[in-house]
Amino acid sequence: MTEGIEKKLQRNVPLAPLTTMRVGGASRFFLSVKSEEELSEAVKFAENEELEIFILGGGSNVLISDEGFDGLTISLEFDAIKKLHMQKNQALVYASAGRCWDEFVKFCVEQNLAGVECLSGIPGKVGAVPIQNVGAYGQEVSETIRGVRVFDLETKQIYELTKEECRFDYRSSIFNTIYKDRFIVLGVSFCLKEGGSPKIVYKDLIDIFGDKSAVSLKEVREAVIRIRRQKAMVIDESEPNSRSCGSFFKNPILTKKEFCEVIERTQALGVKSVPSFIVGHDAVKIPAAWLIERAGFYKGYRFKGAGISEKHALALVNFSNATALDILNLAELIRDRVREKFGVELVPEPVFVGFKKVVSMKI
């Protein structure tokens, strides 16, 4: 073991306080790394000791098992932001993986750079945003990502992946599908528009700004944070409903044929219309929150120490000393009832870490 790593290595570190859900056990080993060189040493250490690696960002999209993680958890602490160059009102901005995501958004808005303003208030770090192609209020990071700098755990090389190579889609990319756990994101470069207009396509924002033409990026950022706060979708120590992973389930995307089957089922139940959005040639998105509420779960529903947020039907919350198993059992209950009632399979958004028993959720 290199001396540097030995000095910094922590043992049996509780992970719950490092996550927004605040559940789960400890990590056998834990390292905070401050540079790419340190990361490379940490990877070597894990390889020598035959340890699995888990990269922890802000812990806002993970469910850690009650048994914890029997490997090495690495937290990336390098957090530089560099405005690389400007050309024809386009700015290329690079942010290191350890940077707080919302600080990055604030920086862009203050620099009058458009492209990420609707993603204000999302917890977590920059390194995690390409993983599930973070999105909200009509904007996704894939719209502005130019490239992703990664450490490849297979070849031990650093690569710059282009946006096309990342194969972004709704809440997915190569990082959480075909190459899951292969790459560590070191930093992300974004191509942003200097002096560009904010994106106002989402209903909540249209309701506020209507067709007002001269809306600033700052106004949109503030509005998004205000709306998110009303739904307990910003982290706030004094708001128990924010002790969550945000949306626990993805919004299901169905083929037109599957969607017609859902309509038949809902009509049989006396429900006249199903909210939906066409998102592709043969792809219809249905709000998971609508399915959950129609399946009989209400905001504030309780299951042991866990429950459904009082402010958003899609967020599962640790209300009072919930265990990871409570959260998982509640999620399974919801998923099974939605399937039974509408024939739709809900897929969880958070990443499950350290579960030894087979997790029956389709992820």
Ligand X SMILES: Cc1cc2nc3c(=O)[nH]c(=O)nc-3n(C[C@H](O)[C@H](O)[C@H](O)COP(=O)(O)OP(=O)(O)OC[C@H]3O[C@@H](n4cnc5c(N)ncnc54)[C@H](O)[C@@H]3O)c2cc1C
The H-assigned helical ranges of the chain are: 3-8, 36-48, 101-110, 163-166, 203-209, 217-230, 256-268, 288-294, 324-342
Catalytic residue selected from 65, 242, 247, 309: 247
- Indicate whether 361 belongs to the interface with ligand X (CB under 6 A): no
Q: Which of 25, 58, 115, 348 binds ligand X (CB under 6 A)?
A: 58
Phi-psi bin for 129: left (phi > 0), alpha (psi -120 to 50), beta? alpha
Q: How far apart are CA 270 and CA 84, in angstroms?
A: 57
Extract the runs of DSSP E, i.e. beta strands, from 174-258.
183-194, 253-254
Site string for ligand X, 28-57 (x = CB under 6 A): --------------------------xxxx
Nearest to 39, CA basis, from 2, 75, 1, 3: 75
Catalytic residue selected from 28, 99, 171, 221: 171
- Indicate whether 71 belongs to the interface with ligand X (CB under 6 A): no
Minimum CB–partner distance for residue 195 and ligand X (Å)? 26
- Indicate whether 76 belongs to the interface with ligand X (CB under 6 A): yes
Assess whether 320 carries a catalytic annotation: no
Q: Which of 185/361 has CB closer to ligand X?
A: 185
Assess whether 247 carries a catalytic annotation: yes
Q: Which residues ranging from 127 to 156 are in contact with ligand X (CB under 6 A)? A: 127-129, 131-132, 134-136
Assess whether 171 carries a catalytic annotation: yes
Q: How far apart are CA 285 and CA 316, in angstroms?
A: 21
How many residues lie near ligand X (CB under 6 A)?
33
Q: Which of 56/217 has CB closer to ligand X?
A: 56
Q: Which residues ranging from 242 to 301 are in contact with ligand X (CB under 6 A)? A: 242, 244-246
- Indicate whether 314 belongs to the interface with ligand X (CB under 6 A): no
Q: Which of 57/252 has CB closer to ligand X?
A: 57
User: Hey, is 332 helix, strand or coil?
Assistant: helix
- Using alpha carbons, list the distances in angstroms from residue 67 to 15, 34, 162, 320: 11, 28, 37, 19
For residue 354, how many other CB atoms are within 10 A of its CB?
24
Site string for ligand X, 212-241 (x = CB under 6 A): ---------------------x-x------
Helix (H) or strand (E) run with residue 74 in it: strand 69-76
Q: How far apart are CA 354 and CA 28, in angstroms?
A: 11
Q: Which of 13, 15, 20, 254 binds ligand X (CB under 6 A)?
A: 20
Site string for ligand X, 173-212 (x = CB under 6 A): -----------xx---------------------------
For residue 85, how many other CB atoms are within 10 A of its CB?
9
Q: Which residues bind ligand X (CB under 6 A)?
A: 20, 54-62, 76, 97, 122-125, 127-129, 131-132, 134-136, 184-185, 233, 235, 242, 244-246, 351
Positions marked catalytic: 171, 247, 349
